[in-house]
Amino acid sequence: MQIRIGQGYDVHAIADGLPMWLGGVQIPSDRGFVAHSDGDVAIHALCDALLGAAAKGDIGLHFPDNSQQWKGADSKDLLRRVVEMLSADGWKVGNVDITIALQSPKLRHHIDAMRSTLAPILGAPADAVSIKATTTERLGFVGRGEGCEAWAVALICR
Ligand code: MG
C-alpha cells in the first residue's frame, strides 16, 4: 500500500457584514471572510493538503480566483472535486487534521458540525477528521481580528 502525506495553509481577511463559513458550516457572526469563493479557509487549507499529498498542485491552480466559474463558490463543492480528482487516481483519504486560528467568535461549539459535514465529502469516518481551533492571544493579524488562518495535514493511501 502507498501512503502519502500533504500539508496546506490558507488565510483570508475579515470584514464587517460578510458571511463566515468554516469547515463547511456557517458560523453566526456579523463579520466574515473577504474572498472570491465563500472564503472557507479551513476547507481551502484542507484542499491544498489533499492536493499536496497527491502532488497535484494547489487550489489556485484548479479553481483560479480570477475565474467567474468559482465566484461565490461553495468550498464544499471545491473539496468534493478535489476528492474526486484523487479518487480517479485510486487515492482514498486516511485521516485529516486541521487547525484554525481565529480570535473571535469562539469555534468550540461548531467543531462537531464541521467534522460531520466534512467526513462524508472526504469518504472518511468522522473520527478520521480532526478540527482544532485556537486564538492567537490577541497577537498579530489574527489577534487583531483582521484575518483567519488555517493549516491542514492529510494522509491518503491506495
Ligand atoms: Mg482561500
Alpha-carbon distances of 27 from 24, 32, 92, rounded to whole Å: 9, 9, 29
Ligand 1 midpoint to CA 95 (Å): 21
* Domains contained in the chain, number: 1
Ligand 1 midpoint to CA 41 (Å): 5
Note the pLDDT of residue 156: 98
Ligand 1 midpoint to CA 1 (Å): 32
* Assigned C-alpha cell, 117: 459535514
CATH number of the domain where residue 15 is located: 3.30.1330.50
Residues of the chain with pLDDT below 50 are none
Note the pLDDT of residue 69: 80
Please tell me whether residue 15 adopts helix, strand or coil conformation.
strand
Note the pLDDT of residue 53: 98
40: containing domain: 3-157
Ligand 1 midpoint to CA 11 (Å): 6
**DSSP conformation class of 17:** T
Ligand 1 midpoint to CA 38 (Å): 9
Ligand 1 midpoint to CA 10 (Å): 5
